[in-house]
Chains A and B, each alone.
Chain A
């Protein structure tokens, strides 16, 4: 962890049931931290989207609709937000589950699963995953000065 973030940043933690209804609370936390870090609208949107996609994936596929909890820890420092998402669902490394759009297949015929994870991973500046003590821990970072890898509008 960047020392500047530790000393100058603020942190927050939220534990919610793994349900669709809890996704709004997670988004509110992420946006609050993004505001504190001074991220512009575009960067705030990207970190919200990334966290939302991974949390939605945990609700729908990780726990498969069963009971579970999601813990979100966030830290904001000058110009950067780092969020970790933890769950105790079966081991799943999002960076191995992404499915970039296949240019050879018409969009309406494509498998759409995995696209949310692709969106999440292309929205952040840094991504890390560890499996520790039976928990999945994904860590996502967006920086105010980060680079949006998506090509600009033609």
Chain B
């Protein structure tokens, strides 16, 4: 299943909304959007993942890439991830540096 990626700005937050499946095949699309988002200079990058039904380790790499691209003071939030996706993020220990939020 393909991944759809959209990018918008809401106040001081850059919003990336994902829907579909985030895996080794589709993660490059997410990477491109992260690069654009990092250039916006907002204080928060919010990644809305409620529409992501599946995420493999390639998605984790994308989240690490996002952490590397944004400035130190920028908060990265992952919002609305379904439980197995959030489990994958926790298994990698990324929940210690990325804010995981239900909504």
Partner of B64, one of A45, A112, A150: A112
- The reply to whether B60 and A115 contact each other, CB–CB distance below 8 Å, is yes
Known contacts A20-B25, A21-B25, A56-B56; decide if A107 and B96 are in contact (CB<8 Å): yes
Chain A binding surface, main DSSP class: helix
- Nearest A residue to B87, CB-CB: A150
Contacts of A42 in B (CB 8 A): 83-84
**Segment of A47-55, A124-132, A133-141 engaged in the interface with chain B:** A47-55
Given contacts A45-B54, A151-B90, contact A108 B68 (CB under 8 A): yes
Q: With a CB–CB cut-off of 8 A, which chain A residues contact B46?
A: none
Residues of B within 8 A of A60 (CB): 24
Q: Does B13 sit within 8 A of A, measured CB to CB?
A: no
Contact call B86/A153, Cβ cutoff below 8 A: yes
Q: Count residues on chain A whose CB falls below 8 Å from chain B CBs.
A: 31
Question: Does B57 belong to the interface (CB within 8 Å)?
Answer: yes
User: Are A107 and B93 within 8 A (Cβ)?
Assistant: yes
Interface secondary structure of B, over-half rule:
helix
Interface check B14, CB cutoff 8 A: no
Q: How many residues of B contact A (CB 8 A)?
A: 26
Residues of A within 8 A of B83 (CB): 42, 153
Q: Which residues of chain A are within 8 angstroms of B4 by Cβ–Cβ distance?
A: none
Contacts of A45 in B (CB 8 A): 54, 84
Q: Are B96 and A53 in contact (CB under 8 A)?
A: no
Q: Is the CB of A115 within 8 A of B54?
A: no
* B67 contacts partner chain A, Cβ-Cβ < 8 Å: yes
Residues of B with Cβ closer than 8 Å to A?
A: 1, 23-25, 54, 56-58, 60-61, 64, 67-68, 83-84, 86-88, 90-94, 96-98
Q: Which residues of A contact B (CB under 8 A)?
A: 20-21, 23-24, 41-42, 45-46, 48-49, 52-53, 56, 59-60, 101, 103, 106-108, 110, 112, 115-116, 118-119, 122, 148, 150-151, 153
